[in-house]
Amino acid sequence: MEKLFKSFKRDKVEGNFDAIIIGSGLGGLSTAAYLSKHGKKVLVLERHYEPGGFTHVFKRRGYEWDVGVHYVGDVHRPYTQVAKMFNYITEGKLKWEEMGDVYDVAFFGDKRYEFHKGKEGFIKQMQSYFPDEKRAIELYVEMVYLCQKSQRSYFMEKPMPNILSSLVGNRLRKKGLSFNRTTYEVLKDITANEELIAVLSTQFGDYGLPPKQSSFIMHAMVAKHYMNGGCYPVGGSSMIFKCIAPVIMKGGGEIYVNAEVEEIILDKSYKKALGVKMKNGQELFAPLIISNAGVINTYQHFIPKEANQKYGLDEKLTKVKPSFGHFCLYLGFDHSTEELGLEKPNYWIFPDSYDHDKNIEDYLEDSDKEMPLVYVSFPSAKDPDWENRYPGKASIDVIALAPYEWVEKWKDERWKKRGDEYDNFKEKITQRMLEKLFRYHPQLRGKVDFSELSTPLSTVHFVNYQKGELYGLDHDTKRFEQKFLRPKTPIKNLYLTGQDIITCGIGAVLASGALTATTILKKNMLNLEY
């Protein structure tokens, strides 16, 4: 098999490139693929030793786990935009496996609520739990679809040239922003049943903010994305990179790992991006510089303070804030998925209380309080190719919210050498998360063959988000009001891509690549067919 990437430490970067992309997450990869298919030779630089960002897999002792791709919606329906985009940038190589009729299961104590695929299936199942709220559930689904539809015009404005945006942009944004209220406010207008509100808000972990803080725009996009079921990449989430990289290389592009960018080189007047300076001092130049490293990283750490001040970027950044960090517990079992009786649907585990916001508030005030949300994914059950690669074994991911401040005191210690206190802290968290899992899968007790816990410091180390945030910027109502979160920056030839210019989520990050390429090429890259 052809080598899909090189190491910056070993291999010299040679030749000229039309574009340099900072970061090989899905936003960077999709941007690179779109540009490559339209005649651009692209250089992708990744600071981690593995490419793919949150689409890469994590391996230890004969096991592997996905680190960010736990399920994707709508890819099994070929006429949807997300299916078309994946098909286009992988040239039809990426395959998906449906998760079945149930894609998510919420647990509130001993109560189990299943999320069934299809609009009618979802409504019918929810109405079986809440027979007195039939009309409210129908209204909720109507609102989700209306909100999601309204966002087309909102996101259509983002790649527009400044002149065109000044003429029609506000009108396009206004339609989408009509739904920019908190998730709780919208749901409270539909029903007074707090239990139903909590259940309908189950997937807030997919974007990181509870209902009284999150924008309904974000909630509706996630809910609609999965309404027709979830899918998993056949062969694991690393197949996303493996199917996109050849398209970039076919266009003459290259992907380098261990390639940490220290700064973006601007001209003396800060009007134009010229290239990047690497951590080792080497300078690389190209007509286009595209950052997939996040808006805060790009503006606060990659460009000079003088440029920040010139364009008022520091002031703009005060209007957004980083999202939550997370703990992720990677578990390996020397038993097959079938032997362990694992399901494909994801588990969302909550306390008995139906107040998500209060549960999080209590947890942040006292870390010994019950975890407000524990998410469980079963990659070995979802992937039909798993048994071919890891016969007789199984893997599970267990994820919980984790503020960066809880681990900040160890930030200056080396990875894997942060001391006994840090290790003891992690072990305590590990045991708490295991107990959550064992409550609903008691047959797993005593069968864990391998475990490893990541913290927000792991995210800082590998992804370079300063606070270990999982979802980039918070998805509150204020975030959606910010017009500067777009592909084009005030600096000529410098562009952004990734979750900060649209939203988090595989479909949105994939679309960010199309929007950034649309902005650069001045051609509509959305809905292209392979």
Q: For residue 99, is it within any domain? A: no
Q: Kindly report, residue by residue over 409-422, the tens digit of the pLDDT.
A: 998 888 878 889 99
Q: For residue 472, is it within any domain? A: no
Q: Kindly report, residue by residue over 155-213, the tens digit of the pLDDT.
A: 999 999 888 988 888 899 998 899 999 999 999 999 999 999 999 999 999 999 999 99
Domain that residue 282 falls in: 6-65+87-94+235-319+482-521
pLDDT exceeds cutoff 90 at 523: yes
Q: Kindly report, residue by residue over 453-502, the tens digit of the pLDDT.
A: 999 998 888 877 888 898 999 999 999 999 999 999 999 999 999 999 99
What does the alpha-carbon distance between residue 51 and residue 4 come to, in Å, rounded to a whole number?
Answer: 9
What does the alpha-carbon distance between residue 390 and residue 63 come to, in Å, rounded to a whole number?
Answer: 7
Q: Tokens 């490419």: give the residue.
A: 51
Q: Kindly report, residue by residue over 355-373, the tens digit of the pLDDT.
A: 999 999 999 999 999 999 9
Q: Which amino acid is at 312?
A: G
Residues 443 and 312 reside in one and the same domain? no
Residues 213 and 199 reside in one and the same domain? yes
Other beta carbons less than 10 A from residue 113's beta carbon: 21
Band of the pLDDT at 110, cuts 50, 70, 90? very high
Residues 268 and 309 reside in one and the same domain? yes
Percent of the chain with pLDDT over 90: 91
Q: Tokens 């590990």: give the residue.
A: 430
pLDDT at 267: 97
Residues 438 and 517 reside in one and the same domain? no
pLDDT at 467: 86
Q: For residue 29, is it within any domain? A: yes
3-state secondary structure at position 379: helix
3-state secondary structure at position 374: strand
Q: For residue 108, is it within any domain? A: no
Q: Kindly report, residue by residue over 247-292, the tens digit of the pLDDT.
A: 999 999 999 999 999 999 999 999 999 999 999 999 999 999 999 9
Residues 269 and 294 reside in one and the same domain? yes
pLDDT at 425: 95
pLDDT exceeds cutoff 60 at 116: yes
φ, ψ of residue 359 to 5 degrees: the values are: -60, -40
φ, ψ of residue 55 to 5 degrees: the values are: -95, -5
What does the alpha-carbon distance between residue 433 and residue 376 come to, in Å, rounded to a whole number?
Answer: 10
Residues 376 and 449 reside in one and the same domain? yes
256 forms beta bridges with 6, 45
What does the alpha-carbon distance between residue 199 and residue 133 come to, in Å, rounded to a whole number?
Answer: 13
Domain boundary among 227, 259, 279: 227
The tokens for 483 are 């017009």
pLDDT at 466: 80
Question: Looking at the 3D structure of the chain, how many domains does it have?
Answer: 3
How far does the chain reach from its first CA to its final CA, in angstroms?
23
Q: For residue 110, is it within any domain? A: no
CATH number of the domain residue 441 falls in? 3.90.660
pLDDT at 527: 84
pLDDT at 477: 97
3-state secondary structure at position 259: coil
Q: For residue 158, is it within any domain? A: yes
Band of the pLDDT at 446, cuts 50, 70, 90? very high
Percent of the chain with pLDDT over 70: 100
pLDDT at 130: 98
Domain boundary among 203, 227, 251: 227
pLDDT at 166: 86
Q: Kindly report, residue by residue over 120-163, the tens digit of the pLDDT.
A: 999 999 999 999 999 999 999 999 999 999 998 999 999 998 88
Tell me the average pLDDT across 81-94. Answer: 97
3-state secondary structure at position 325: strand
Q: For residue 101, is it within any domain? A: no
289 forms beta bridges with 20, 494
Q: Kindly report, residue by residue over 289-343, the tens digit of the pLDDT.
A: 999 999 999 999 999 999 999 999 999 999 999 998 999 999 999 999 999 999 9
Residues 243 and 222 reside in one and the same domain? no
